[in-house]
Structure 1
Amino acid sequence: MRKNVALDSVAGLTVVITGAAMGMGRLYAERAVAEGAAAVVLLDVNADALAQTATELTALGTAQSVLTYTLDLSSQQEIATVAARIREDIGAPDVLINNAGIVRSSFFWEHDPVRDIEATMRVNTLAAMHLSRQLLPGMIAKMGECRILNVSSAAGTLSNPRMSVYAASKWAMTGWSDSLRLELEKAGHGNVKVTTFAPSYISTGMFQGVRGPLLTPIMTPENAVAAAWKAMLHGRPMLMKPWTVGFGRALKGVLPTRVWDVLAGRVFKVYSSMDEFTGRR
């Protein structure tokens, strides 16, 4: 197994970020630019917001180039087309941040099959798989230290009412992401290190109206991004924030299901955390 090598920064490296026009995606991009990345590639479906973000980041003058590609991550064909353009324009990236995601909240039987179920699985899970599949061979071939940061969720570790489809997408993301990490190590491609980030609720507006479970404050985007960025640079396999996410997963693993249900529902208030969800308007 290749010795773990921590990166000090992304200075001189190429960084690709999905969902980069706003929110946490933009914060990742700001960090890449501030650290002097050679190229920061912004991917987002919102062309206007993407252009504005690129203009503002370019004005900082600390990255050699800021590139934008409008991309609908629900389309495998668009992902393949944009990935080919990225390879042609900058080659294989050194860092890939699969950040983009959407959330739909309802009882499962109330979800629209296409707008809710299909779209959530495509954007939250399949998009990261398809984009990584397109870019990963080039990252492996570079031989130098490369990083993939996959943004999952605490919802990928614990079941929760009114989150069945979102939880499904994040359970799949977590399982795929960590398995990919192990496959790279097993195949001798330890230069590419995968970090899975599983945060609880973050105040981006995406989860407007939620209530944090007991001892689980809603995190600021800045704090969440700072923690994930550090873990990614160090090649840390898994980061769960705050500490109660890992604690809850461990507790659920050792308790009988009905006992855990009582604790999660009546004590920790996990099962009622989405009751007043409104989301981003």
Structure 2
Amino acid sequence: MKNKTAVVTGTSSGFGLSTSIELARKGLTVIAAMRNINKNSDLLQQARKHGVESKIFVLELDVTNEKSILAFQTKVIENFGRVDVLINNAGYAGAGFVEEVSMDEYREQFETNVFGVFAVTKAFLPLMRKQKQGYIINISSISGKVAFPGLSPYIASKHAIEGWSESLRLEMQPFGVKVVLIEPGSYKTNIWSTGKQVAAESLQSHSPYKDYMQSIERYIAAGEDNFGDPLEVAIKIAEITVMENPDIRYPIGRGVKASIFLKNFLPWRLWEKIIIRNLFVK
């Protein structure tokens, strides 16, 4: 792993922060990208704690801004010369019921979670193709395989990433670049708090979906004690970066594999009843 370089987006917290530390501990040089570099204190504190501060370089990157991506691409190539691992992690969870989610909110969700991934990947594809080796690891979600009410912006974005990653994997396979999807369940990150802010309209007293959204919030809150440690995902990502032939998908987290299996094999009417029943348990 020595002399290899990894680019990780969305590194101020959650999976991005944990993955940056874990890869640095494995010997990689890590370019930790974040939209606001003033939020780098948690990352650098953890880097010092683990003795890997010299392996981590924080650079500014707004995945929704073309100029920011170009400036980031230039700095990486000029200063590091190669990218062996690209981890597309930056994103947030937009929430709300379809009727109450504006088209601008849908577009904003896709600008970050979908088009941001496309643009950052395209920025480094020529380099990785010429290297004839590398890993592109896209952080998807169980939501990319299993839908859930009240989260359609996020779920739609992750379904898009799933299909796009399949195409990219087939395109890059002849060039030695491996494309992988990580599909986490619920972990202790700040992604859900962002989603709840977006869902504010559906929690207003005048909303016809208020009771439904409150049921969803109760369901999520009831399971928070069982949310996983993001380090588990970071360790899995580090393992993948040394696999000769990684699979395309890695579901990870409590109940994730079971949920995907049941959704794929149960008749839809039965699956639907299970979801609704679970949500409205008081």
2:91 partner SS: coil
Paired position in structure 2 for 1:111? 101
Instruction: Select the structure that is richer in helix.
Output: 2
Paired position in structure 2 for 1:4? none
CA RMSD after TM alignment: 2.8
The alignment status of 1:156 with 2:167, answered yes or no, reads no
Paired position in structure 2 for 1:178? 166
The alignment status of 1:134 with 2:123, answered yes or no, reads yes
Paired position in structure 2 for 1:6? none
1:148 partner SS: strand
Paired position in structure 1 for 2:11? 20
Give, in angstroms, the shift of residue 35 of structure 1: 1.6
Give, in angstroms, the shift of residue 33 of structure 1: 1.6
The alignment status of 1:121 with 2:110, answered yes or no, reads yes
Bigger shift: residues 80-89 or 240-249: 240-249
2:156 partner SS: helix
Residues 180 and 194 of structure 1 are in contact (CA less than 8 Å); yes or no, is this contact kept in structure 2? yes
Give, in angstroms, the shift of residue 22 of structure 1: 2.0
Paired position in structure 2 for 1:47? 37
Give 5+ residue unaligned stretches, structure 1.
Answer: 1-9, 276-281
Give 5+ residue unaligned stretches, structure 2.
Answer: 194-216
Mapped partners of 1:178, 1:233: distance in 2: 20
2:138 partner SS: strand
Equivalent in 156, 176, 184 of residue 168 of structure 1: 156
| Structure-1-length-normalised TM-score | 0.80
Give, in angstroms, the shift of residue 252 of structure 1: 2.5
Mapped partners of 1:109, 1:262: distance in 2: 22
Paired position in structure 2 for 1:279? none
Residues 201 and 207 of structure 1 are in contact (CA less than 8 Å); yes or no, is this contact kept in structure 2? no
Residues 13 and 42 of structure 2 are in contact (CA less than 8 Å); yes or no, is this contact kept in structure 1? no
Equivalent in 183, 198, 204 of residue 183 of structure 2: 198
1:195 partner SS: strand
Distance 1:103 1:243, change over 3 A: closer
| Structure-2-length-normalised TM-score | 0.80
Give, in angstroms, the shift of residue 135 of structure 1: 0.3
2:40 partner SS: helix
Residues 212 and 218 of structure 1 are in contact (CA less than 8 Å); yes or no, is this contact kept in structure 2? no
CA deviation vs aligned residue, 1:214-272 (integer Å, no higher than 9, x gap) = 9x942221222222332343233210123733333333333332222012322xx3x56
